[in-house]
Structure 1
């Protein structure tokens, strides 16, 4: 399976350090989740003759706390290989990323065009209670950049939900952002990335936020159900 994992050592200093508010624990583990080397003989952006499927997200995409080949983007790559689809998978997940951080780096990521762009961001914004208007604006900025840099790309938006720690109204409005953005921009929507995983202690690590390998397998099935028609 040809899985390219981009290195963001120069960006880590600018990134937020946790998918939750516990910055010290994420800081200790983030390098493993975000700086894995590309597959042997393959450099990021190198021409492989394959179409590019890029996952752009935070620690959920990066595979925080699990082995790189256990994270859902790698599992999607395995599925693609088993079906002999003409795609390479690029994991551009960065632990601790917010929509603002994603908006600032997406142009750098898209130095090479992509064919399918899976956007998984916003969870950190919601957990920190950031203004929803800013989250909405940043997601739109990322979408606009993708369409400017890779106008042929199909964009898939991964929906997210948060617990009502910031109040039920905030949680409801946060959830609604994803359907709103998908409808406005005519995107393919994964209604809830963590369907069947979020809130289940047996499928999440000790922090209650990041999936275990078993949780990632369920996430991969959720993503694949939406992504397969796009790829085929």
Structure 2
């Protein structure tokens, strides 16, 4: 009898100990449970988006067209499909000169923090017969500022009609090549090369490409731009 009572007491003690442990565990779970249950599942943090900033004139601002028809918008669509994590900001302004671009570059770099800067300026300087040394200095300033901000640069060149004189037109084109060599940046010598000899590719002013010509310009620029996105 003594043995039975002793075993019963021991078993009862073990049950009470187990009940006490379970009670403590449930109390702890009750205390921590709501916070634990409310904690959201860990989410993958998306990689920061990288930006291509286009600084251009009317040729990049889709003059005479809807913005979506221009080569810059078409390039943005291609990048969205083929280069996740990239976006395009078009800061081009119709009538822009290299002086205007040089005045705006710091603000655009600060605002957009681009990884790549496409500089397509100079045509309006040439059409106005502005001093080529001045145009070159403005482009030089834009390239230096972009590189100092940590961006790669694609310099997009233009050519002038022969009526401005051989010396002017040749020096105009050479400025782009010289700046690209000096700064070690990518160069597309002539934006309109794929369509330059096709009169039907231009609007009535014979200066600005029509909508159907924009994909050709996009593909032309893409050859120089795509390596900078890798």
| TM-score where L is the length of structure 2 | 0.77
Could you say which residue in structure 2 is the equivalent of 1:120? 120
TM-superposed deviation, 1:56: 0.5
State the Cα deviation string for residues 99-124 of structure 1 (Å, max 9, x = none).
Answer: 01111111121223110000000011
Does residue 146 in structure 1 map to residue 127 in structure 2? no
Specify the SS of the correspondent of 2:110.
coil
Across the aligned residues of Structure 1 and Structure 2, the Cα RMSD in angstroms comes to 1.5
Give the whole-Å Cα distance in 2 for the aligned partners of 1:228 and 1:142: 21
Alpha carbons of structure 1 residues 114 and 216: separation in structure 2 relative to 1, 3 Å: same
Unmatched segments (≥5 aa) in structure 2: 1-45
Q: Which has the higher helix share?
A: 2
**1:1-232 map, 5 Å:** 49-112=48-111, 113-148=113-148, 150=149, 152-232=150-230
Distance in 1 (CA, whole Å) between partners of 2:62 and 2:80 is 20
Q: What secondary structure does 2:100 align onto?
A: helix
Q: Secondary structure at the residue paired with 1:111?
A: helix
Larger Rg: 2
Partner Cα distance (1:110, 1:86) in 2: 18
| CA–CA separation in structure 2 for the residues paired with 1:171 and 1:209 | 16
Poorly superposed stretches of 4+, deviation over 2 Å: none
- Per the TM alignment, residue 159 of structure 1 is displaced from its structure 2 partner at its CA by 1.2
Structure 1 gap segments, 5+ residues each? 1-46
Shift of 1:48: 8.8
